[in-house]
Structure 1
Amino acid sequence: MYKLTTHSTIAEIPAPTWNALADPDTPFMRHEFLHAMEEHGCVGERLGWIPTHLALRDDNDRVVAAAPCYIKLNSYGEFVFDWSWADAYERSGRRYYPKLVIASPYTPATGPRILRGRAQQPDALARALAQGAVQVAERLGVSSLHWLFTTDEETTQLEKTGLMRRVGCQFHWQTRGYATFDDFLSSLSAAKRKMIKRERRRVAESGLRIRRVRGDAVTEAEWAIFHQLYCDTFDKRGGLPTLTLPFFLQIAESMGEQLLLVLAYDGPAVVAAAFNLLGPRSLYGRHWGCFRDYHSLHFEACYYQGLDHCIEKGLERFEPGAQGEHKISRGFLPTRTWSAHWIAEPDFRSAVSRFLLAETQSMDDYIVEMDRRSPYRSDTAMDPT
């Protein structure tokens, strides 16, 4: 019933077609977001992300499902770490790279990777796209195929087509119907409530001014300052700042209503900024930078301003980014994340399968331990997911 085509640029698939299939709550899956990366050198062979997008077509040549797919020449920017797999694969005399990855580059945020809109037969489309992706991997002769930050439902569907489930952990916030930030604070233990109030007070007493600005209202000069902050953060940590200023300027123009910039001013000068993506139900924290250290400013700009925004706008959840146990004290609870994996070589596939069984048990134990550190009062505690 279906035919799978591959595309070396997302521009080959019309933006309205792609966006009609994507979940509107995942701005990092929008055509505009992925296209801007390609157009402004944020992905490509130089960075090890070679676009090979998948489009599933019906017998009328209509695109009914899609997935953002890349031939990967490294594991940078994925946040589902397989460095040890690559090392073991290559020590056995095989080449781990290239591989295939289905993901939004540099974006460790959960959301549908099987784009199928409101299809009448969603399971059939998911199965056809998943099977087709494996066939593409086999045809290209790559070592493996990896679907990253999939939903629980998707991961189950991918398992049914023979892929292996992998569990990870991030720290997310979910609303309990808070009307104000004080309502949120009242759900916490007295010690954590006092800590957050003290951190926010220290920022206020430093004389810093904080603004939350939607992307389409940020000036070009402010974007330039933010990009400098973004690059400085990577430089300090020995990383590679892959997102260019023209990329940010383009998405500000094409999808600015789904961007949120938190700017911190010391007098007239911007000294720190946090970049977020907005969906109709969710907020996704992505990048942060600061020209100099201010006590508690990171927590204010990256967490408390985001929480304030979620409560004010009635958003349901806040994903502030990968890792970070310090987020627990500030209201973010351990939350399972998912990925699904196909390995071409049978013996190595068996070895990875055994590894994942042990890793899953270890991760489950870790999540239980992290949940014991919940900052919420016992009568308002939330279960980990």
Structure 2
Amino acid sequence: GKPVSLRSIEISTQASRITALFWGSKKSVKHQPVDSSLGDFTLTGSETEELKENPTKGKKVSVSIISSILDVSSHEWDSCALDATGPEKFNPFLSHGFLSSLEETGCAVKETGWMPSHIIAKDESENILGVAPLYLKSHSYGEFVFDHSWADAYYSFGARYYPKFQCCVPFTPVTGPRILVRNTSFKDQVFDVIVTALKDLTAKSQVSSLHITFPSEAEWYKLKDRGFLQRIGMQYHWKNRNYKSFDEFLMDMKQSKRKNIRQERKK
């Protein structure tokens, strides 16, 4: 099958491009449970100083799948998220606290069609080098990317579209990195290892596809180079131009629009 993926880039108050990445394997039959271990990967080359000084340190990376974000410590998860975004652009929606609250409150759980299947990459010393928020979805709700026509097309050809894998932040169409890796000298290799594991998991599970929605711009291009298909949509963003009051906001509009809004607010 061919690759595809999903993502979003925000621009300004005007229409913004939404991009998404999708990768599909062969026709899905029925979701097949897989082992929690997704395999061991060896980092190639010895060009990094860390590998030159200690050829065994961090050379082997083990990737596994966990059924709850509570299976990993908040410190380790947030360290990956912080390194992926940079301290000045930390994204709270990628934090362990936010994602765990979605599970603990029953919002993003198997019973609601969001089965947590998060990806964890560790070195030989059990240090977490990268993570990815992943869910096995039985529907397309709460994603803010509309692929119902894809589901219809699958069914019209006698194939199953659900379940599918969704790498995203549930119910939150906010752009940000989705493959969260620590800032090491071999972070690009860890990124590739996680992407390979995601694609292998999709194929072994016999689900229709893997979607990565609202990733960062850098990931958008990286994932295209790694076999994902790109999809672009449209989104509108409102930006606060330092308005001191609602009336000041209305003054940016034509008189007719101001009048209509004020009348609506009086009802």
Question: Which TM class, normalised by the smaller chain length?
Answer: 0.5 to 0.7
For normalisation by structure 1, the TM-score amounts to 0.47
Q: Which residue of 2 is the match for residue 168 of structure 1? A: 233
CA deviation vs aligned residue, 1:256-280 (integer Å, no higher than 9, x gap):
xxxxxxxxxxxxxxxxxxxxxxxxx
CA deviation vs aligned residue, 1:193-227 (integer Å, no higher than 9, x gap):
75787688x49xxxxxxxxxxxxxxxxxxxxxxxx
Question: How many residue pairs are counted as aligned between the two chains?
Answer: 202
Query: Within the alignment, does 1:146 sit opposite 2:199 as a pair?
Result: no
Query: Within the alignment, does 1:155 sit opposite 2:220 as a pair?
Result: yes
- Alpha-carbon distance in 2 for matches of 1:124, 1:43: 30
Alignment of 1:264-279 (within 5 A): none
Structure showing greater relative contact order (alpha-carbon pairs closer than 8 Å, 6 or more residues apart) = 2
Query: Within the alignment, does 1:71 sit opposite 2:132 as a pair?
Result: no
Amino acid of the residue matched to residue 108 of structure 1? Answer: P
Query: Within the alignment, does 1:181 sit opposite 2:243 as a pair?
Result: yes
CA deviation vs aligned residue, 1:70-96 (integer Å, no higher than 9, x gap):
111111111111111111111211111
Unmatched 5+ residue regions in structure 1? Answer: 204-293, 298-385
| RMSD of aligned residue pairs (Cα, Å) | 3.0
Amino acid of the residue matched to residue 169 of structure 1? Answer: M
Unmatched 5+ residue regions in structure 2? Answer: 1-41, 43-60
Q: Which residue of 2 is the match for residue 3 of structure 1? A: 62
Q: Which residue of 1 is the match for residue 167 of structure 2? A: 102
- Alpha-carbon distance in 1 for matches of 2:104, 2:67: 12
- Alpha-carbon distance in 1 for matches of 2:170, 2:66: 16
SS state at 1:111 partner: coil
Q: Residue 265 of structure 2: which of 285, 295, 320 is its match? A: 295
Q: Which residue of 2 is the match for residue 45 of structure 1? A: 110
What's the offset of the Cα at 1:164? 0.7
Q: Which residue of 2 is the match for residue 192 of structure 1? A: 253
CA deviation vs aligned residue, 1:154-179 (integer Å, no higher than 9, x gap):
0111111111111122223568xx6x
Amino acid of the residue matched to residue 116 of structure 1? Answer: V
Q: Check 1:19–1:195 CA distance in 2 against 1; reply closer, same or farther (3 A cut).
A: farther
Q: Residue 197 of structure 2: which of 123, 132, 139 is its match? A: 132
- Alpha-carbon distance in 2 for matches of 1:152, 1:94: 32
Q: Check 1:195–1:34 CA distance in 2 against 1; reply closer, same or farther (3 A cut).
A: farther
For normalisation by structure 2, the TM-score amounts to 0.66
Amino acid of the residue matched to residue 5 of structure 1? Answer: S
Alignment of 1:193-232 (within 5 A): 202=262
- Alpha-carbon distance in 2 for matches of 1:296, 1:157: 50
Q: Which residue of 2 is the match for residue 286 of structure 1? A: none
User: Is the Cα–Cα contact under 8 Å of residues 66 and 116 in structure 1 kept in the other structure?
Assistant: yes
Q: Which residue of 2 is the match for residue 302 of structure 1? A: none
- Alpha-carbon distance in 2 for matches of 1:132, 1:38: 23
- Alpha-carbon distance in 1 for matches of 2:126, 2:181: 15
User: Is the Cα–Cα contact under 8 Å of residues 127 and 158 in structure 1 kept in the other structure?
Assistant: no
